[in-house]
Copies of this chain bind each other. A is one copy, B any other.
Amino acid sequence: MSLIVQKYGGTSVANVDRIKNVAARIKAFWQQGHKMVVVVSARSGVTNDLVARARALHPMPDEREMDMLLAVGEQETIALLSMALHAIGVPACSRTGAQAGIHTDSLHTRARIARITGGDIPARLDEGKVVIVAGFQGVSSESEITTLGRGGSDLTAIAVSAAIKADLCQIYTDVDGVYTADPRLVLNARKLTEISYEEMLELASSGSKVMQARSVEFAQKYNVPFEVRSSFNEKPGTLVKNNAKTMEEAVISGVALDRSQTRVTVGDIPDNAATTAAIFNALGEAGVSVDMIIKNLGANGRANLTFSVGTEQFPHAEKVIAAALREIGSGTVRASGEVAKLSIVGVGMISHPGVAGVLFNALASVGANCDLITTSEIKIAVAIAPEKADAAVRAVHEAFSLHTHR
């Protein structure tokens, strides 16, 4: 008898039949005596339809009105799922973000959670009810409807779990869990039973599409254990928690690939810290994430900076840098090619000095040269040529024997 928060994404509740399936799954847990809170997204396609209608009326819709519009999607799903539960004899009631006490700042379309009270969720649970909460949405201190941006429903589930001190949060998605590598790429990739928040965070920021980093960070901050699992089968997923069991011999947990990186070169700038800081401050203020930075000194005493940014962020980054260079008074900026970022992640890495050697041997075995490299205590990431990426991931997975159970 636990207090469980479950989250179902848009594909899991896409239509009436899938909503019935989710209701049946919830009932099975509820019948075991668990107290259940369920967070749901909009039915898949609904949000896109709403956005299309908005754009047909205005090229850049007002963000406050966009939130008013988009919050509609989850409000529909919570009512429908409640009805589906009633139909199979499960007492249930729905709650909007505001009713669930999800208080945010006023940054419409990308609001941050300020505090979460849980509203009357504990009282309804004590009555034996399943409480269905609209994901993705909250309410500002001005009583305006806000939305949390990408990955918002996962964040709602983890924040609600923290607020009501849930025993477990289950994130149902269209993947079975967290794998040692993308199973479509590496046939013997293995699903991890457990993984630490730190590793999950590094994977999230390394191109793994399973979850947004902000949800993992929130879970880590409030120590909310959560399980990533599939809503289309009954297999156990991957548990993300503090002090995940890692055997001594497990050096790394997984290898991730982010194909959509652009290598940027900023050339011919003064070789001093102030210049470097000016460029990266400008990028940071503009919300552009930068990775794998190297600095070269040219023969003329001028410096070059090379780093990677997400390809979709490059046009924005280029403008920001160009403006910074005008301030500096010299310098050029250009995209110097697409790169793939391959990352290995694992808490065991820190006590195994040979990790980098194994990695570079594996890369060399498939002819994947790399110049940009970045490391943290639990991650090494390298930029390689996109056409070598698939072979490199397989070679690295093999080199660390990730297919064998740790």
Contact = CB atoms under 8 A, between A and B. Distances in A.
A197 B118 CA distance: 47
B80 A53 contact: yes
Contacts of A61: 83, 86
A140 B253 CA distance: 52
B62 A86 contact: yes
Interface string A12-26: 000010011000000
Given A54-B83, A69-B80, 9 more contacts: A16-B56, A16-B57, A20-B57, A57-B84, A58-B83, A62-B83, A65-B82, A68-B82, A75-B75
Interface string A45-85: 00000100110111101101110110110011011101110
Contact of A19 (B50, B57, B80): B57
A260 interface: no
A228 interface: no
Interface in A69-116: 69, 71-72, 75-76, 78-80, 82-84, 86-87, 93-94, 96, 99
Given A53-B16, A99-B143, A143-B99, A79 B87 contact: no
Contacts of A19: 57
Contacts of A56: 16
A49 to B, nearest CB: 10
A43 to B, nearest CB: 9
A19 B64 CA distance: 19
Contacts of A79: 54, 65-66, 68-69, 72
Interface of A: 16, 19-20, 50, 53-54, 56-59, 61-62, 64-66, 68-69, 71-72, 75-76, 78-80, 82-84, 86-87, 93-94, 96, 99, 143, 145
Given A50-B76, A69-B79, A87 B143 contact: no
B75 A62 contact: no
A66 B83 CA distance: 9
Given A50-B76, A99-B143, A68 B94 contact: yes
A102 to B, nearest CB: 14
